[in-house]
Amino acid sequence: MNIENETAKIMTNFYFQMQGVRVIYLMHRKKERGINVDKKQHKKISFNETDFEKIISEFLQIMKDNPKIPFRIYSSANERDFDKAIRNFKIRQIEAEFDGAKTKKSFYSDMKNRLISCLSRPDARTKDRKFLIDCDSEEEYESALEILAGITKNYTHYRTKNGRHILVQPFDVRLMPDHDIKKDGLLLLKF
């Protein structure tokens, strides 16, 4: 794998997802087997396009260095509101202060993950939200496009390992009762 080429490909394909605060994940999914690893997930916060590119490059290098582990790179589909996340973080921090020594120690020894958890909460999304429709078959994808044609023409779609994802502005999900719609999903950037 050529890291520069792969990074450039992701940056080109997902240019619409690099602005603002995002959480980017490098994950090993158990269902894909591969070798057992102690640390199955890496998480980083991107604040802008430069951070995004640097993190993607770093995660691609980890993938290249560990070819037996079926890693995937994901990014939050919705931009995150850092101020909302900080507020949630401070609330958790105050709660940890009064929940006993064990809770306090646990909180402070894992602050980075606590912050990322606060960023990942649905209430930390910005107002510019997107839904992600996960289609596991071509039939499901065609059906989703047919329904979306009556709702909007403003959507993005891309291939995933097992199907396709469609990223679209929020709509009445009751119009697609048979589809897997994630209101705050993760974009699959690389598998």
From 96, 98, 102, 180, select the one nearest 134 (Cα to Cα). Answer: 180
Are 61 and 15 in the same domain? Answer: yes
- Do 17 and 64 lie in one domain? The reply is yes
CB 4 within 8 A of CB 54: no
Domain range holding 115? 82-124
Q: How far is it, in rounded angstroms, from Cα 137 to Cα 32?
A: 18
Total domains in the chain come to 3
Residue 190 lies in a domain: no
Give domain status of residue 30, yes or no: yes
My answer on whether 38 and 71 are in the same domain is yes
Residue 191, domain member (yes or no): no
In a domain, 94, yes or no: yes
Shared domain check, 50 and 91 = no
What is the amino acid identity at position 19?
Q
Q: Mean pLDDT, to the nearest integer, of 95-116?
A: 90
39 pLDDT tier (thresholds 50, 70, 90): low
**Same structural domain for residues 92 and 115?**
yes
What's the whole-model pTM score? 0.87
Q: How far apart are CA 184 and CA 3, in angstroms?
A: 29
CA max distance for the chain: 56
Hey, what amino acid is at 98?
A: F
| Per-residue pLDDT at 35 exceeds 90 | no
Whether 154 and 169 have beta carbons less than 8 Å apart is answered as yes
